[in-house]
């Protein structure tokens, strides 16, 4: 007759680990790829503009050679580092921030390098890099900082430019137009970057929601399959509780019947709980042994329990551990009911190969072929349950007693 010990519950499915991993990967999937594409495009484009600025600097009228050299090395050197980091996607924020900080400082110092006045038609080499400085801010600053840089760099360039030009209305107008053009172009670049990143974030959010929904649906499906899988065992538990109650004659048998009924009701309630609560994580061998001993003591306090947990014992999947514990508990229940728990002994062994449990008594025994069809304790609650987790259960019984051997070996 089947019976399940009080407090031992069938594990309910938890959200699979692969869904949690997929969920983590979707949070910035599109954003990271958009940043990668932008980095390659901006890095390559900035390198071309940097070459153009170098040519302009070498062909410009001679000024203060020392200051020119310092500014060229500082600006073009930081630009080269930024381009390499953008193309390789390594330390982008750091090197983009360096260039975004170096460029305005170089613009402030540029009049010292130029020295002599210039004409309005002679565009200095810094002019080519104004919007590169703004794009650098896109990769290292929040949106507010990007907007500030979009206005700061052109206005700073215009102010420094006017220090080397005669202050006439026509000159001021030309420089103002150049600055306005740079501001407009910088604003367009910032808007394009913001739109692309916003779309990527929206796509990632939708993908994350889809993965969450899929994970929840998979968990719900697993719960439904679990209900179908345990339906026979639920029927077995309820039927066993009813038969035990009907045949109970002694106080011990009545107490056991009450325990079986309580556990059957608990198991039925637990199956309907929310998906994801079942313990499916690996359990240490020592923990399994301790839980098994507690279960045996609850069913028969006088049973002899022996544990042998080797140092090389490995954790066992939660479902496997629960199945072996429930099968062993069923064997103990059968011994209490049908053999009076005569010299009941339970041994637990765990090593590097797996687990083994042996439940034995010195009762009168039985013949398996003569067990009635409605007595499902051995077939369903022991042999079938252990086989479901790739384990092996055998029952040896004769006139001198019964031994139930349960084993599970880890697959290589």
Looking at per-residue pLDDT, the higher value among 248 and 338 belongs to 338
Backbone φ and ψ of 304, nearest 5°: -90, 120
Instruction: Judge if 410 and 310 occupy the same domain.
Output: yes
Report the length, in residues, of the chain: 412
Could you report the per-residue pLDDT of 275-318, keeping only the tens digit for each? 443 456 788 999 999 999 999 999 888 899 999 999 999 999 88
User: Could you tell me if 362 and 342 are in contact, meaning their C-beta atoms sit under 8 angstroms apart?
Assistant: yes
**Domains contained in the chain, number:** 2
Instruction: Provide the residue range defining the domain that includes 324.
Output: 281-412
Instruction: Judge if 14 and 130 occupy the same domain.
Output: yes
Least confident of 51-55, 212-216, 277-281: 277-281
Q: How far is CA 86 from CA 37, 41, 80, 321, in A?
A: 9, 9, 10, 51
Give pairs for 30-34: CB < 8 Å, separation 24+.
30/199, 30/200, 30/201, 30/203, 30/204, 30/207, 31/197, 31/200, 31/201, 31/204, 33/200, 34/196, 34/197, 34/199, 34/200
Q: Is the pLDDT of residue 333 over 90?
A: no
Least confident of 72-76, 268-272, 321-325, 383-387: 268-272
For residues 352-360, average pLDDT: 93
Question: Domain holding 346: CATH number?
Answer: 3.30.565.10
Least confident of 41-45, 246-250, 309-313: 246-250
Instruction: Please state, rounded to an integer, the average pLDDT across all residues of the chain.
Output: 80
Could you report the per-residue pLDDT of 79-115, keeping only the tens digit for each? 999 999 999 988 999 999 999 999 999 998 888 877 6
The last residue of a domain, from among 241, 259, 279: 279
Instruction: Judge if 304 and 240 occupy the same domain.
Output: no
Could you report the per-residue pLDDT of 58-67, keeping only the tens digit for each? 876 655 677 8
Instruction: Identify the DSSP state of 59.
Output: H
Could you report the per-residue pLDDT of 384-395, keeping only the tens digit for each? 778 878 889 998
The last residue of a domain, from among 279, 306, 339: 279
């Amino acid at each position: 007759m089947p019976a399940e010990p009080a407090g031992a519950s069938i594990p309910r499915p938890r959200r699979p680990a692969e869904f949690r991993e997929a969920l983590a990967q979707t949070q910035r999937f599109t954003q990271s790829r958009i940043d990668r594409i932008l980095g390659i495009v901006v890095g390559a484009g900035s390198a071309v503009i940097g070459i153009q600025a170098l040519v302009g600097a070498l062909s410009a009228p001679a000024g203060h050679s020392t200051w020119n050299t310092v500014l060229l090395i500082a600006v073009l050197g930081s630009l080269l580092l930024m381009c390499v980091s953008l193309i390789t996607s390594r330390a982008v924020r750091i090197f983009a921030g360096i260039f975004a900080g170096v460029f305005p400082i170089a613009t402030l110092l540029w009049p010292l390098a130029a020295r002599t006045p210039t004409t309005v038609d002679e565009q200095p080499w810094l002019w080519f890099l104004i919007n590169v400085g703004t794009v650098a801010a896109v990769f290292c600053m929040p949106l507010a900082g990007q907007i500030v840089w979009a206005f700061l760099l052109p206005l700073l360039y215009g102010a420094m430019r006017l220090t080397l030009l005669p202050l006439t209305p026509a000159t001021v107008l030309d420089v103002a137009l150049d600055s306005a053009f740079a501001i407009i172009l910088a604003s367009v670049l910032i808007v394009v970057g913001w739109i692309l990143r916003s779309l990527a974030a929206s796509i990632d959010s939708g993908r994350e929601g889809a993965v969450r929904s899929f994970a929840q649906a998979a968990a719900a499906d697993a719960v439904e399959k679990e209900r179908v899988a345990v339906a026979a065992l639920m029927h077995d538990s309820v039927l066993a509780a009813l038969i035990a109650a009907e045949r109970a004659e002694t106080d011990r048998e009545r107490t056991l019947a009450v325990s079986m009924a309580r556990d059957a009701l608990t198991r039925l309630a637990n199956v309907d709980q929310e998906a994801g609560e079942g313990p499916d994580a690996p359990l240490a061998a020592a923990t399994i042994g301790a839980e098994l001993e507690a279960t045996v003591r609850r069913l028969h306090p006088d049973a002899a329990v022996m544990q042998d947990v080797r140092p090389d014992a490995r954790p066992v999947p939660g479902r496997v551990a629960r199945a072996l514990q429930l099968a062993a508990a069923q064997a103990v229940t059968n011994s209490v009911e049908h053999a009076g728990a005569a010299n009941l002994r339970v041994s637990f062994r765990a090593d590097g190969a797996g687990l083994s449990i042996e439940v034995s008594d010195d009762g009168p025994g039985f013949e398996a072929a003569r067990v009635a069809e409605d007595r499902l304790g051995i077939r369903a609650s022991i042999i079938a349950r252990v086989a479901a987790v790739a384990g092996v259960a055998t029952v040896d019984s004769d006139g001198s007693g019964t031994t139930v051997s349960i084993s599970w070996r880890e697959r290589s």
